[in-house]
Amino acid sequence: MPRRVPLYKRVKQRLAAALEKGVWRPGEALPPEPALAKRFAVSVGTLRKAVDELVAESLLVRRQGSGTYVDSHTRDTMLARFFPMVDRTGNKRLPQSRLLSFRRGRASAAIAALLHLQRGAPVFEIDNLLSLDDEPLILDRIRLPQALFPDLTEAIFAEREATIYALYQSRYGVTVVRTEESIAAALADERACELLLLTPPAPVLRVVRTAYAWHSQPVDTRVRLIATRRHHYRSVLGQR
Amino acid sequence: MPRRVPLYKRVKQRLAAALEKGVWRPGEALPPEPALAKRFAVSVGTLRKAVDELVAESLLVRRQGSGTYVDSHTRDTMLARFFPMVDRTGNKRLPQSRLLSFRRGRASAAIAALLHLQRGAPVFEIDNLLSLDDEPLILDRIRLPQALFPDLTEAIFAEREATIYALYQSRYGVTVVRTEESIAAALADERACELLLLTPPAPVLRVVRTAYAWHSQPVDTRVRLIATRRHHYRSVLGQR
DNA sequence: AAGTGGTCTAGACCACCAT
DNA sequence: TGGTGGTCTAGACCACTTA
C-alpha cells in the first residue's frame, strides 16, 4: 500500500462508502458539488476528481445542468454494459427470460471458491433460459449465496419486473459493477440441445461468468451455454 | 457536431495529429508539460486534460518524475491489451508464432467491407499458427491491405522480432489502438483439426477480429479458430 | 540537486437544464 | 432566471526519477 494516499482518493472512498451504505438511493441526485466539497472540507477541484473516478466506474452519472445521480440499473444500462450478444448487424436487444428451476443447495468446492464462501455454504441454484424472438439463445445455471439475498423466493425471482442484476440492486442494495467471463468452446449435451433447439453434435460457447459488487465482492456466478446461430459474442480489446 | 469544442479537446486533436505524423517516435519522451502548454498557448491544467485522455486511450504513457512517452508496442503491452487467452490459473503468456503461408490476393466483398476497401483491392493473405508450450492454440487467416504495408514480404513477416502489431508500428508507423472481436462456436474442419491437433467433432471458438488504428481506420482483419483445451478466452464487462 | 509529473487550491466564466 | 455541472486559469507545493 502507498504510504501517502492522495486526498481525492480518500474522498472517493468516503463517497463510495456512503453510496454502499445507501445514503442516496439509485436514481437520486447527490448534493451539488460545492456543497459536497464543503462537507468533505476540500476544494471543488478535488471533489470533482473523486467524482470523476466514480463516474468512470459507473457508480455515478453526471447530467450537466441538472446534477450528479446514483447509477441505477435500467434496461438500457444493463444491455450496454453486461449483455455481450449482438445480431448480424451489430445490434443488441434484451432477451426474454424463462425460469426453469429454483432450488436451495450447498456450495461445492468450486462454487465456494468463486463466491468466496465456505464449502457447503447455502446457495440458491437457478436454471434460466434466455431467448430472443422466441429463439432460445442462452441456458444459464446461476448460483448465488443465500446470505446476500436472505428472503429471496422463487416467486420474487420469477415475478421480477426487470433484469436479475436490477433485482439485486433494488431489493437487496447490491450493485453489480463488473463481471468476469471465461469462454470456451464445447459440445452441447442432450438436455442443452433440447432446450436450445440444437441437433448434436452442436458446438456452443461455454461461459463461466462471475459478477462482482464494489470491493470485488462476488455476487453470483453462472455457467452459461450459448447458441451462436444468429447472434455472436462481441468483445472489444484495447482503448479502454 | 457540438457547436463549441472545448479547448482541451482541440489540444488533444493537435497532439494526436502530431503523434500520427510521427513527430515523436514510439518510446520517445514528449517535451515537459509546461513547455507543451506554452507551445499550444494554454494553461498546464488544460494541457494535462488533453494528455489525460490520450493516456486513457493508451497513445501516451506517463512516468512520474521522468516524463510522458509515446506508447510503444512491447511484448508486455501487447499481451495485456490484445491477447485474451488465459490458462487455468488466470495467467497470460505470449504464444509462439509459425507462418504457414503468405500470399497476395484480392479483397472479397466481405473483406473489403471490413477493411473499408474497394472490392478486389490488393491484400495480403497470411495463415499463421499460434502455440503455447508447443501445443497449437490458434489458427489465424489474416488479411491486410497492401496499400498500408507497401513493401511487406514473406521474409519481413517471418523474420520479425516481435508481434505482428509491433511490426506494423515500428516499420510502417501504423499503431493499432483497438480491436473488435465477434465470437461464435463452430466445429473445426479437417484442416483445422490437423493443425490444432484435435479429433472431430471438435468444438472451437471462431473469432472474427478486426484491428483499428486512430480514427477507427481498419488495419487488418482475421478469422481465427481457437482450441480451448487448456486456455480460455477472458472477457471483463462493466467497469471500464 | 535538478527536473519531471502528481496533487491541491481558489476563483472566474461558460453551457446546459429546469422552472 | 437560478442552479447545476463543464471549462479554464494561475500558482504553490509534493513525490518521484535520474544522475
Look at residues A235, A22, A231 and name the one whose alpha carbon lies nearest to residue A131: A231
CB-based contact, A2 to chain B, within 8 Å: no
CB contact under 8 A, B184 and A232: yes
Q: Give the CA-to-C1' distance from B105 to D19 in angstroms.
A: 54
Give tens-digit pLDDT for A184-193.
Answer: 999 999 999 9
What ranges do the domains of chain A cover? 7-70, 75-233
Buried b (16+ CB within 10 A) or exposed e, A91-107: ebeebebeeeebeeeeb
CA dist B154 and B104 (Å) reads: 10
Give tens-digit pLDDT for A201-228.
Answer: 999 999 999 999 988 999 999 999 999 9
CA dist B202 and B154 (Å) reads: 31
CA dist A132 and B177 (Å) reads: 33
Domain B7-70 in CATH 1.10.10.10? The answer is yes
- Over residues A68-73, mean pLDDT: 96
- Cβ pair B60, B72 in contact under 8 A: no
Query: With a CB-CB cutoff of 8 Å, which residues 120-179 of chain A face chain B?
Result: 176-179
| Fold classified for B75-233 | Chorismate lyase (3.40.1410)
Q: Is the four-CA dihedral B28, B54, B56, A40 of positive or negative sign?
A: positive
Residue nearest to nucleotide D10 (CA to C1'): B43
Look at residues A174, A181, A148, A185 and name the one whose alpha carbon lies nearest to residue A81: A181
Q: Which residues contact A27 (CB under 8 A, 6 or more apart)?
A: A69, A70, A72
At residue B92, the 3 state secondary structure works out as coil
Residue nearest to nucleotide D5 (CA to C1'): A64
Mean pLDDT of chain A: 95
Q: What is the pLDDT of residue B202?
A: 97
Q: How confident is the model at residue A2 (pLDDT cuts 50, 70, 90)?
A: low
Q: Which three cell numbers stand for residue A180?
A: 468476469
Q: What is the pLDDT of residue A239?
A: 75
- Positions of chain B with pLDDT lower than 70, given as ranges: 1-3, 240
Instruction: Tell me how close the Cα of B211 comes to any Cα of chain A, in angstroms.
Output: 9
The residue among B112 and A77 whose pLDDT is bigger is B112
Q: What is the pLDDT of residue B240?
A: 60
Q: What is the pLDDT of residue B3?
A: 61
The DSSP call for residue A192 is H
- Cβ pair A47, A36 in contact under 8 A: yes
- Over residues A163-181, mean pLDDT: 95
User: Per the omega criterion (within 30 degrees of 0), is the bond before B201 cis?
Assistant: yes
Find which of B183, B210, B212, B229 to mutate to test the A interface (most A CBs within 10 Å of its CB). B183
Using an 8 Å CB-CB cutoff, list chain B residues near A239.
Answer: 57-58, 177-178
User: Per the omega criterion (within 30 degrees of 0), is the bond before A201 cis?
Assistant: yes
Q: Which residues get their CB within 7 angstroms of nucleic chain C?
A: A 6-9, 42-46, 49, 63-66; B 2-4, 29-30, 32-34, 45, 48, 62-68
Whether A34 shows a pLDDT value over 80: the answer reads: yes
With CA of B43 and C1' of each nucleotide, the nearest comes out as D9
Q: What is the pLDDT of residue B196?
A: 98
Q: Which three cell numbers stand for residue B78?
A: 501487447
Q: What is the pLDDT of residue A161?
A: 87
From the number of C-beta atoms within 10 Å of its C-beta (0-12, 13-18, 19+), residue A236 rates as middle
Q: How many CA atoms lie within 13 A of A157 on its CB side?
A: 20
Q: How confident is the model at residue A240 (pLDDT cuts 50, 70, 90)?
A: low
Q: Give the CA-to-C1' distance from A36 to D11 in angstroms.
A: 24
Buried b (16+ CB within 10 A) or exposed e, A196-233: bebeeebbbbbbbbbbbbbeeebbbbbebbbbbeebbb
CB-based contact, B109 to chain A, within 8 Å: no
Give tens-digit pLDDT for B107-155.
Answer: 999 999 999 999 999 999 999 999 999 999 999 999 999 999 999 999 9
With CA of B10 and C1' of each nucleotide, the nearest comes out as D7
Look at residues A234, A208, A85 and name the one whose alpha carbon lies nearest to residue A142: A208
CA dist B67 and B44 (Å) reads: 15
Least confident of A145-149, A159-163, B51-55: A159-163
